[in-house]
Structure 1
């Protein structure tokens, strides 16, 4: 199938591209991600994608970067954690509809996406939005859950020295990811403190045992010293007599 692969970044593209090529698809990558903030981040991810795609002989088409369009569609849901699923759905819809429209207008038979590599995404929502976007323009959705490939994609991208971002893309996700990292850091610190507290009695007992052994050794050495001193004096007295 002549397939357009919507790709969010280079690292997430590694395994989906490999598997879809192995399945016999003729692939062009679509970099259509107006969600990415700021523009410098968008450019960094695009450069990483282009470098990788060029090394594989894969064409990349870039959609217009329109952060305001994304803000109007998805940003309106704001930072409320309860609204995050709706915000992500609107984000998926905007990007997949853009990719599907391009695919239909340029002779592609189907559309797939790399979004499902990430274990942090809403996979069923992606599936629903991919099917809806393709249905609108009359092409085939090629959905695959790539989460099992996430560890291998991580390994490969590190081995290739790829830029690996630490948040999904939008300004909200950047803040949320930073907060989650701080929370995990605090949880690790609390767990470490708890382990230290639990081990404190054992460490105190071990320290007491070491102190007792040291005192016992010192007492033995002092006893031996006095013994040798007594013997020395006796030898000196016998020598004088």
Structure 2
């Protein structure tokens, strides 16, 4: 079987090529990714793939790079979904706060009113509510466009990715027919962040339309090994899927994590300050108690001395008499 393997990048190609070779299949790679943005990123990924492939004796061909095709299909779906999410974010900002007790306050009230067992469960709920509150506060620090990227409807995001897969697999299938391949496959399924079922459906669809066999493998179990190998090899590892929309989503997720960490540090700092204040209060109470005891001891000592002095004086008086 002559297999054309669609590849998204070098790191994601490591394990699929190894596994296929162990199965007795020698794949040729096609880099067909009009979704990748910007051009510099596209060139960087392709160069990384070619450098690795040369060391492994794997052939690499480059497909068409036409971002206009992507913008008219997957890009249009994604942009529409982002615009809707941005409107929802804007409406929420205009609506403002309702004035009702927030989840964290509600959790604290429940914890205070419940019995021991119920109180533990309520405290856990209060902690979860506090975490939700911190996330909401962290989200509020993000630019509205980044907040909207995180609020995109999941079904719309899946539809965008489906259109993206379809565009790239169609390109791979056309190339396969033109160059005498029997089947097409893809490295996209190595990533746990992709829609694996949709990838399989679209790969099968493209292969069937062009009279090819579909060689789908779920490579997700090899993701950790691919990560390890690519890092050890010093390969360029991108931090977003490829398109401009996934770039925005990745930026939003990174900034949210950063803001959440800052909020958590602030919360822990407030907790530490409260604990230190309690310890200081305890120290002050202990010191006050010690001071009180010292004063009592001093008074008793003075009284005992006075009594001794008085007895001595009385004894001297008796002697004189």
The answer to whether the superposition gives a TM-score over 0.5 is: yes
Alpha-carbon distance in 2 for matches of 1:44, 1:88:
22
- Taking the TM superposition and a 5 Å limit, the aligned residue runs for 1:102-141 are 102-141=175-214
Deviation of 1:198 after TM superposition, in Å, equals 3.1
Residue 125 and residue 205 in structure 1: after superposition, are their counterparts in 2 closer, same or farther (change >3 A)? same
Q: Partner residue of 2:58?
A: 58
Name 2:31's counterpart in structure 1: 31
Deviations 1:102-123, CA, capped at 9 Å, x for gaps: 1123222211111111121111
Write out per-residue CA displacement over residues 50-76 of structure 1, whole angstroms, 9 at most, x where no aligned residue. Answer: 000001000001101111111112111
* Shift in CA distance, 139/210, structure 1 to aligned 2, threshold 3 Å: farther
How far apart are residue 172 of structure 1 and its match?
1.1
The aligned residue for residue 313 of structure 2 is: none
Relative to structure 1, the CA distance from residue 149 to residue 200 in structure 2 (aligned partners, 3 Å threshold; closer, same or farther) is farther
Partner residue of 1:11? 11
1:57-102 deviation digits (Å, cap 9, x = unpaired): 0000110111111111211113322222111111100001110121
> Aligned partners of 1:128 and 1:199: how far apart in 2?
53
CA distance in 2, matches of 1:149, 1:206: 51
- Number of the residue aligned with 1:220: none
Q: Which residue is 2:275 aligned to?
A: 202
Structure 1, unpaired ranges of 5+: 217-241
Change (3 A) 1:96 1:201: same
Q: Tell me, what secondary structure is at the counterpart of 2:3?
A: strand
TM-score for the superposition, normalised by structure 1: 0.82
**Separation in 1, partners of 2:282, 2:185:** 66
Instruction: Report deviation, 1:152.
Output: 1.5
Could you tell me how far 1:199 is from its partner in structure 2? 3.5
Distance 2:172 2:235 in 1: 24
Larger radius of gyration: 2
The answer as to 2:205 corresponding to 1:150 is no
TM-score (normalised: structure 2): 0.62
Please state how far the C-alpha of 1:210 moved relative to its aligned partner. Answer: 8.6
Matches within 5 A, 1:81-100: 81-82=152-153, 83-100=156-173
Between the aligned partners of 2:261 and 2:220, the Cα distance in structure 1 is 26
Change (3 A) 1:210 1:21: farther
CA gap 1:206/1:86 in 2 versus in 1, 3 angstroms: same
Question: Please, which runs of 5 or more residues in structure 2 have no aligned partner?
Answer: 82-151, 291-321
1:229 aligned partner:
none
Task: Please list, as runs of the form range in 1=range in 2, the aligned pairs for 1:161-172 lying within 5 A after superposition.
Answer: 161-172=234-245
Aligned to 2:232: 159
Aligned length: 214
Per the TM alignment, residue 15 of structure 1 is displaced from its structure 2 partner at its CA by 1.0
Q: CA RMSD in A?
A: 2.0
Distance 1:199 1:23 in 2: 57
Give SS of 1:29's match: strand
